Chain A
């Protein structure tokens, strides 16, 4: 076989165009800019709801579109009952706090999150993380 015959027969890359470093930098910058804008929408407004839900649905769609066709998943999950008990207990604790007032004395997870995300940068970062979570969850 001539040497020239081997040209172009190396491992074929199947990486997504979005996997390149420049593309990721651009995507991260665009996500950050959008997050900054989205969290500045007036609370309880239609524009806020649209900004959040449109981006969320887009992130879910992007995750679903890049979902691996075959992903190793254990057939049997040991100890899921412990997680279920923990989830029910957490939901009960949250509900007990929710139905009591004043909120300061009975904080819910939402009120704690709001206190934590009380600045524009923190809220924008949290929004970007939420979008990344949507992509990640949809890829599962």
Chain B
């Protein structure tokens, strides 16, 4: 895969997510998250994943 192909893949995935979000035919992303968050194991997983994301992006990167 070249850089252009990889980026095109991400763009297609983002476009698909946007289409799902605005289509009105399926639940919105927030509704799916809400439904998952009703169950405490998923809720715990979501919060842990969010904390990991912050740690990964802001503590584990040499950006300067």
The segment out of A7-15, A18-26, A101-109 that lies at the interface is A101-109
Residues of A contacting B3 with CB < 8 Å?
A: 104-107
Q: Which of B7-28 contact A (CB under 8 A)?
A: 7, 9-10, 13, 16-17, 20, 25-27
Residues of B contacting A93 with CB < 8 Å?
A: 6, 9-10, 13
Cα of A123 to Cα of B61 in the assembled complex, Å: 11
Cα of A32 to Cα of B16 in the assembled complex, Å: 33
Residues of B contacting A104 with CB < 8 Å?
A: 3
Q: How close is A32's CB to chain B, nearest CB, in angstroms?
A: 15
Q: Inter-chain contact count A-B, CB under 8 Å?
A: 129
Residues of A contacting B6 with CB < 8 Å?
A: 93, 97, 105-107
Cβ A77 vs Cβ B13 within 8 A: no
Interface residue ranges, B against A (CB under 8 Å)? 1-3, 6-7, 9-10, 13, 16-17, 20, 25-27, 29, 31-35, 37-38, 43, 46-47, 50-51, 53-64
Sample (5) of A-B pairs whose CB atoms are under 8 Å apart: A44-B60, A80-B27, A83-B29, A126-B58, A134-B47
Interface residue ranges, A against B (CB under 8 Å)? 38-39, 41, 43-45, 48-49, 51-53, 56-57, 60, 71, 73-74, 77-80, 82-83, 86, 89-90, 93, 96-97, 100, 104-107, 109-110, 112-114, 117-118, 123, 126-127, 130-131, 133-134, 137-138, 140
Supplied contacts A51-B59, A127-B54, 8 more A-B pairs, CB within 8 Å = A52-B55, A53-B54, A73-B31, A74-B31, A78-B27, A93-B9, A105-B3, A140-B34
